[in-house]
Each structure stands twice: as C-alpha cells, then as structure tokens.
C-alpha cells in the first residue's frame, strides 16, 4: 500500500529519530555498580558512615542532538505525527543534556523538565504530589499493624519468582518470547523490555510482588513494547521516550490497582520515594535519606536501593535529585482520570488505543484519526483486565459515584443500613 506523502514523510523522520537515540540508555548510564552498595552496607554495619562516591560515564551527544534538531525542524508542527515527533525529539534532547551533567547539581533542572518534581499539582487542580505522598504514607502507617496481622508476608527468592512468572508470560504472549532473567546489578526490583524482564538477584519477593510484576512489567511494559514493534509506520512506539514515562508508569501502576494487586505497602513505597526526592532537593544527603527509609521500616538493603533511586546521577551530598519516581503517583492519577473520562464519555474504545505502543495520554487523542485510518495499528495484545470491559466499566462507574460520598460526614451509625430490627 502506498502511503500518503504526509504519512510517508513523518514515518521516515520517525525512523531517523529511532536510529539517533538507539545508543541512549538513560537509566543504565545513571546506575551504580553493585560494589557501591556492598561497600556502603559493610561499613554501615560496623558504624562507619560515609557518602557513596560514583563516577558516571561521559559521552559526546553532539551528533545525536544535531539529528534530533533536524528531525524536529523537518516535522510539520500542524500535523499530529509532526507534533509527536517534535515533542519526542525534544524529550530525548533534554535527556542527553541530563547525561552531560550527571554527578552535578545541574541534573535536577533537566530531571524536573522530564519528570516533574514533588511540589507540582496533581490533575484536576488537586493537591501536590508531595501532599498526596504524605497522605498515603500516613494512611499506610495507621493501617500497618492491623494489615500485617491479617496478611503476613511470605518471601520467595528471585529464582522461585522467575520460575513462577515464565510459564504465565509464555502462555499470554503466544506469538512472542519474553524471557525472565536475573540481574544482580538492577536498582529496581524489576525492569522490562519487549523481549525480557529482569529481576534483581538476592532479593525477597512476596505474593503481592509476583502479582505486581506480572501486571506491571509483563502486561504493560513488555506488552506496550511488543505492540509498538508491531506498528507498521512508527517504530518509536516500541521504545518510548522520556516524555511517555509518566503515562507508561501510571498505566502500569493503574493495572495493579484495577486488578486488586496494589497493596497499601506498595503505595507506601511509591509515596516514600516522592517524600525522599523532596528531602534530597531540599538538602538532605544520601545518608539522611537512607536513614529515612530505615525509619520507615525498610531493610538496610532496601533502604540503600530506595535512596539510590533518588540519587541516581545526583551528588550524594544533597541539594539535588533524580526525580523520575515522582511520575508513579501523578501518572497513576492521570491514567485513572483518563479511564474515568473515557467511561463518562462512552469512549472505552479510545482507552484500548493506549496499549498500541509506548504512548503519552495526549498521543492517544492526537492519534485517534490515524488509528481510524489504519496508520496506527490496533494493539495486538491487551492486558487481561482490559478484556473484561464490563467489569472494568463497573468498577470505574462505581468509583465515579462513590467519589461523591463525603467520608468525613459519615458516622459508624450511618453504616448499619437499617439492619437492626
């Protein structure tokens, strides 16, 4: 099929963009060697406190930026594909600038342009990310003892988790192979690409973790990457870009929530990271943030990992932070609002297009006519909870109505519901 000239032009630009950014591995470039954790924790156990020292690799991204600027200049700003390419190229350009200044306080400025910061407002003129994070931490602390008594953690090894996940993933992705692998150098508990899911070695996992990793990593991150690879004209939808991170992480976290796998401890972990980012920006050093996570109930190893996420690419002496973890909460609320909007306006079909590749929410709306014309292919895979459209609609419809009930005005007597005779 011969493509219309405007589509062919932007498809060629998209291919150039994909080639230009192929060598950029943002999170990998900011990762810390495993020996940094081993040295810190060994010293910590004998009372010797020190700030970790990390050197970051330096690369010359001059040619990459020149090509990104050329792609943006040749894109039509009045065309939906042109606007997408201009925004995507700009986010990658900012990412290269962030890598240029890794290890310095200047990192925060570029990081906040990509991912925002804790004090930014949530969708719908709501509270800030930081306000919401503190609310969830306080709520989790209030419920902690009661819930621990009801649901004690059963810890499994990374090897056991891998052996449990692989058959489930194989059964789902019938036309593709996604390999589950162990990785001792991984900062997060898990990370996913279209072809593999990595799990951090020497880490304990609960049954909730197993469900969360399946829903979050496999049925969103790997899924959208595979669907992106199936796109006939926009190969960048398989890779995504820094500008899509909030939507993609929000969607993956929403998958946990809508499937009942989002336990309060998970919400607390996400929220603690946002509070810690604000601490680091405000001047707290690595040791202070490490102690913050310890005091919140995390183990020394988990506390190091959590603090490390905050200080990736940032000076460990404080006053700067890598703010990526702020996207989980505002991304979750943004995606939740999107699905509720789709329900209210009877547009759940639009919600399915969110899985066509690694998209931002605004791309779904911009690409709607292109999807109808077949330029953007329908997603090959959808997560299990999206196949149950009636159930999803029921949960969202109930959520829309239940939000009208003011809990601060409800007494225990109101909940008896006339059961007494």
CA distance linking residue 320 with residue 103, whole number of Å: 10
**Residue 417 falls inside a structural domain:** no
Pairing state between β 196-200 and 190-192: antiparallel
Residue 389 phi/psi, 5° resolution? -60, -40
**Residue 34 falls inside a structural domain:** no
Q: Which domain holds residue 150?
A: 115-404
Q: Is residue 149's pLDDT more than 60?
A: no
**Residue 322 falls inside a structural domain:** yes
What is the pLDDT of the chain when averaged over all its residues? 90
Token pair for residue 93?
């350009």
Q: Is residue 379's pLDDT more than 50?
A: yes
pTM: 0.90
**Residue 29 falls inside a structural domain:** no
Mean per-residue pLDDT, 11-33: 96
CB 203 within 8 A of CB 189: yes
Strand intervals (E) in 89-186: 179-183
pLDDT of residue 177: 96
Measured in residues, the chain has a length of 421
Contacts of 156 (CB under 8 A, 6+ apart): 164, 204, 205, 206, 207, 210
SS3 104: coil
**Residue 420 falls inside a structural domain:** no
**Residue 6 falls inside a structural domain:** no
pLDDT of residue 153: 59
SS3 198: strand
Residues 186-245 have pLDDT tens digits of 878 899 999 999 999 988 898 889 999 999 999 999 999 999 999 999 999 999 899 999
Mean per-residue pLDDT, 288-299: 96
**Residue 361 falls inside a structural domain:** yes
**Residue 207 falls inside a structural domain:** yes
CA distance linking residue 203 with residue 305, whole number of Å: 11
- Sheet containing strand 190-192, edge to edge, reads 179-183, 196-200, 190-192
Token pair for residue 112?
């906040």
Residues 314-373 have pLDDT tens digits of 999 999 999 999 999 989 989 998 998 888 888 988 999 999 999 999 999 999 999 999
CA distance linking residue 76 with residue 86, whole number of Å: 9
Look at the chain and report how many structural domains it folds into: 1
């Amino acid at each position: 099929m011969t493509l219309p000239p405007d589509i062919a032009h932007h498809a060629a630009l998209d291919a150039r963009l994909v080639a230009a950014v192929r060598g950029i591995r943002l999170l990998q470039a900011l990762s810390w060697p495993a020996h940094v954790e081993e040295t810190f924790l060994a010293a910590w156990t004998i009372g010797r406190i020190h700030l970790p020292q990390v050197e970051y690799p330096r690369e010359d991204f001059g040619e990459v930026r020149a090509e990104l600027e050329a792609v943006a200049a040749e894109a039509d700003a009045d065309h939906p594909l042109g606007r997408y390419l201009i925004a995507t190229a700009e986010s990658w350009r900012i990412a290269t600038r962030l890598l240029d200044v890794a290890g310095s306080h200047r990192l925060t400025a570029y990081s906040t342009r990509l991912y925002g910061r804790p004090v930014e407002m949530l969708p719908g003129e709501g509270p800030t990310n930081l306000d919401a994070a503190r609310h969830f931490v306080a709520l989790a602390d209030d419920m902690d003892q009661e819930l621990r008594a009801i649901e004690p953690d059963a810890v499994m090894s990374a090897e056991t988790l891998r052996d449990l996940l692989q058959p489930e993933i194989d059964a789902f992705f019938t036309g593709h192979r996604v390999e589950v692998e162990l990785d001792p150098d991984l900062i997060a508990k898990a990370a996913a690409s279209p072809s593999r899911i990595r799990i951090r070695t020497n880490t304990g996992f609960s049954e909730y973790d197993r469900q969360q990793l399946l829903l979050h990593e496999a049925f969103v991150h790997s899924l959208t990457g595979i669907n992106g690879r199936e796109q006939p004209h926009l190969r960048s939808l398989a890779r995504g870009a820094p500008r899509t991170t909030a939507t993609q992480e929000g969607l993956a976290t929403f998958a946990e929530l809508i499937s009942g796998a989002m336990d309060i401890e998970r919400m607390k972990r996400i929220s603690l990271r946002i509070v810690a980012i604000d601490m680091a920006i405000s001047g707290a050093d690595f040791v202070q943030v490490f102690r913050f996570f310890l005091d919140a109930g995390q183990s020394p190893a988990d506390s190091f990992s959590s603090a490390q996420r905050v200080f990736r690419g940032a000076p460990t002496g404080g006053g700067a932070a890598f703010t990526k973890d702020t996207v989980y909460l505002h991304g979750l609320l943004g995606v939740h609002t999107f699905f509720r909007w789709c329900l209210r306006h009877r547009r759940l079909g639009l919600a399915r297009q969110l899985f066509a590749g690694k998209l931002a929410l605004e791309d779904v709306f911009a690409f709607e006519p292109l999807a109808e014309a077949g330029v953007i292919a329908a997603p090959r895979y959808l997560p299990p909870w999206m196949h149950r459209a009636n159930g999803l609609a029921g949960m969202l419809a109930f959520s829309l109505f239940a939000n009208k009930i003011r809990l601060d005005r409800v007494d225990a007597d109101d909940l008896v519901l006339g059961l007494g005779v």
